Structure 1
Amino acid sequence: WLSYDEATDKVFCEICCSASKMHVPLPNTSRDKDSYVAFIQHGFVNWKALERLNSHEESNLHSAASHALAAVEAGVNIVAACSQGKQKQMQEARRALLTVLSSLQYLACQGHAICGHVDEEANLNQLLTLCADDIPELKSWLNCTTYKWISHDIINEMLSIMAYNVLHTLMKEIHEAVFYAIIVDKTTDISVREQVSFCFRIVKEDLVVEEISFWLLHNRFYLSTDKCRGQCYDGAANVAGHRCGLQALVQEEEPRAVFVHCLAHTLNLVVQDVAQSIGMCRTFLSLIGDLITLVKASPKCLVWFEKFQQEEDKV
């Protein structure tokens, strides 16, 4: 494929020059631009760097030009051939990206850590390396030096998209329900940041009650209060107050949204009062706590307790 120009004492690539004269679309990366300038536009003259000849022969530019000329000799439409090659490249990249997404989804659903102390030890990278043995497209994708789409920012963005998709699916189910009730409570996480938990209670078409819980910081549901038939909170004044509490504000919008004081919270308050007032009850509850600690600390006792629970369930 080498063509020597005696007048300029330079070497050109005959295949690439022919493809360029035919206005064939050729790769346009930085490395391809160097080959284009050296072997098509100005000619190659650096005789001390003959390894550039092998480098050009293995380049995408030379390969694309060779395929284009072969297509012309075979009577194939060059544009169609390039389009087919591009479509194949897109399909391979799409399959590799879907594998990255499915691997990330698996780790997230199983509750496994995604990152490690170093990227090479991360569960995601190890899982992708394992999958690459059976998926050639993924292996070439991971060997890319310019992009892999597995950086920390990209992974966080993928997780956010998955979380939003789950939230959207659940909210669609709530929107399709005829009526719903809400249970709201708030707590603080390990970073002492307040979070609000929403639990929606809906009735399916087969009259089966289903509860859907969300832990939220900043989200909007766009739910109509016309379908709200119940609301349940603890005894705090900001939610249970009969004048300015949340339940009163909701009932102003929808009077049929009946407020119920959380029974679990009421039971907890009763147990606290009983334990403080009656010493025998306090001692009994302490004994129960010690028994639970003992069972959890002993593998044999834990196995025995699980068998006992299974027998109770059968009864």
Structure 2
Amino acid sequence: AAFCLYCYLFKSNFKIGQGCSDVFTEVGFTNWKKKDKIRQHVGGVGSVHNQSRQYCVDLMNQKQHIQTVLIKQSDQARIDYRICLTASLDCVRFLLKQGLPFRGNDESDTSNNKGNYVELLQFLADHDEKVKAVVLENAPGNLKLIAPTIQKDLVNACATETIKKIIKDMDGAFFSLLVDESRDISVKEQMAVVFRYVDKRGYVIERFVGIQHVSDTTSNSLKEAIDTLFSREELSISMLRGQGYDGASNMKGEFNGLKTQILRENPYAYYIHCFAHQLQLALVAVAKGNADVATFFTSCNSLVNIVGASCRRRDMLRDQLQKNITEALENDDLPTGRGLNQETSLKRAGDTRWNSHY
């Protein structure tokens, strides 16, 4: 008996009666006196046999194999994702470098200003066709990379890479630790951390490494936050050779202050009271001890309150200052140069504001 392999493999794609029979697939052809039946089975271009044969050829063709097609689609999706991610990171790096906010008040599709991040991404798309094809409305719904959580993840990734670069530049050298605590606008206690070290070229470098949220400003909380930072960045406290803080009791306390707790672990981490803080405290004490100087600062604060409460009075003071600067420049009484003689605003003298009493 004779069978047809093509029809046997793909007979399920056709219905009985559409030129499809079970003679060459199940029963077998045995009527050799009517060989013309074989030619009739093959039929014309669109016959069941020829369609089945084409299915078989496609199946044996590796270029049309489902795995090959999926790999091609996966490669293209990977390329598109890389372009989208690169464009997003370019926007993030620019905003971080310039110190600009990311989000806007209204980031909906109908908004005229969707925030710096989305608007900058749109700007890149408008000037690069490759970027335009894979971002914002042309990106998959779950891969736009514009959600607030995604923006925060990208910022944290940039911060992590920046700190790694700083740690690599330190190259295992001795370093000092500068710490100060303050509250942010949301009234959360935060600890700012700075590393000070000497690089390979012999230059003294100070690098801001981040702001650590602390539950309170007790010495134990600050010490725990520092230990967490050192552990995360794989730094050893034995390489610490200096620590600089302000004069608060929780920082320089002799019994349980932050500097004392660190000295217990590393006696070579010498404590230095911040010189700028010392100078400011000394100037404030002198100013309060002299009646004329104290009266001067009191008058300055009153002047700031009066002028600052009115936009009209601010404009009058600004115009008068501009006239005085112009006259002084014409008479060569003021030096000229880049960054000099800029317009400034009034600031109230404070006990902890550097240069306010200098």
TM-score normalized with structure 2 length:
0.59
Residues in 2 aligned to 1:20 and 1:112: alpha-carbon distance in whole angstroms: 61
Q: Which residue of 2 aligns with 1:128?
A: 121
Q: Which residue of 2 aligns with 1:277?
A: 289
Which ranges in structure 1 are unaligned for 5 or more consecutive residues?
9-13, 23-67
Q: Which residue of 2 aligns with 1:29?
A: none
Q: Is the 8 A contact 2:81 2:134 kept in 1?
A: no
Q: Which residue of 2 aligns with 1:261?
A: 273
- CA deviation map 1:88-134 (0-9, x unaligned): 33212321221122122222322233222222422322222232232
- CA deviation map 1:249-277 (0-9, x unaligned): 22222222222222212112212211211
- CA deviation map 1:188-208 (0-9, x unaligned): 111221111222211122221
Greater radius of gyration (CA): 2
Q: Which residue of 2 aligns with 1:158?
A: 154
1:288 Cα offset (Å): 7.3
1:278 Cα offset (Å): 0.7
Residues in 2 aligned to 1:137 and 1:6: alpha-carbon distance in whole angstroms: 52
1:5 Cα offset (Å): 7.0
- CA deviation map 1:39-66 (0-9, x unaligned): xxxxxxxxxxxxxxxxxxxxxxxxxxxx
CA 1:192–1:18 in 2, change beyond 3 Å: closer, same or farther? farther
CA 1:311–1:252 in 2, change beyond 3 Å: closer, same or farther? same
Tell which deviates more after alignment, 242-251 or 204-213.
Answer: 242-251
Residues in 1 aligned to 2:241 and 2:98: alpha-carbon distance in whole angstroms: 35
Q: Is the 8 A contact 1:93 1:141 kept in 2?
A: no
Q: AA paired with 1:244?
A: N
Residues in 2 aligned to 1:183 and 1:7: alpha-carbon distance in whole angstroms: 88
1:83 Cα offset (Å): 2.6
Counterpart check, 1:239 vs 2:232? no
CA 1:166–1:132 in 2, change beyond 3 Å: closer, same or farther? same
Q: Which residue of 1 aligns with 2:94?
A: 106
Residues in 1 aligned to 2:338 and 2:145: alpha-carbon distance in whole angstroms: 51
1:180 Cα offset (Å): 1.1
Matches within 5 A, 1:117-266: 117-119=105-107, 120=109, 121-122=113-114, 123-133=116-126, 134-142=128-136, 143-144=138-139, 146-147=141-142, 148-174=144-170, 176-213=171-208, 214-217=210-213, 219-222=228-231, 223-266=235-278
Tell which deviates more after alignment, 89-98 or 140-149.
Answer: 140-149
Question: SS where residue 172 of structure 1 aligns?
Answer: helix
CA 1:303–1:146 in 2, change beyond 3 Å: closer, same or farther? farther
Matches within 5 A, 1:90-101: 90-101=78-89
CA 1:275–1:107 in 2, change beyond 3 Å: closer, same or farther? same
Residues in 2 aligned to 1:204 and 1:161: alpha-carbon distance in whole angstroms: 25
Report the RMSD for the aligned CA atoms in angstroms. 4.1
CA 1:91–1:19 in 2, change beyond 3 Å: closer, same or farther? farther
Q: What number of residue pairs does the alignment pair up? A: 256
Q: Which residue of 2 aligns with 1:308?
A: 335
1:137 Cα offset (Å): 5.0
TM-score normalized with structure 1 length:
0.65
Query: Which residue, out of 267, 275, 297, partners 2:318?
Result: 297
CA 1:126–1:154 in 2, change beyond 3 Å: closer, same or farther? same
Residues in 2 aligned to 1:251 and 1:182: alpha-carbon distance in whole angstroms: 12
Identity %: 24
Q: Is the 8 A contact 1:238 1:246 kept in 2?
A: yes
Q: AA paired with 1:96?
A: C
Q: Is the 8 A contact 2:125 2:135 kept in 1?
A: no
Q: AA paired with 1:100?
A: S
Question: SS where residue 116 of structure 1 aligns?
Answer: coil
1:21 Cα offset (Å): 6.0
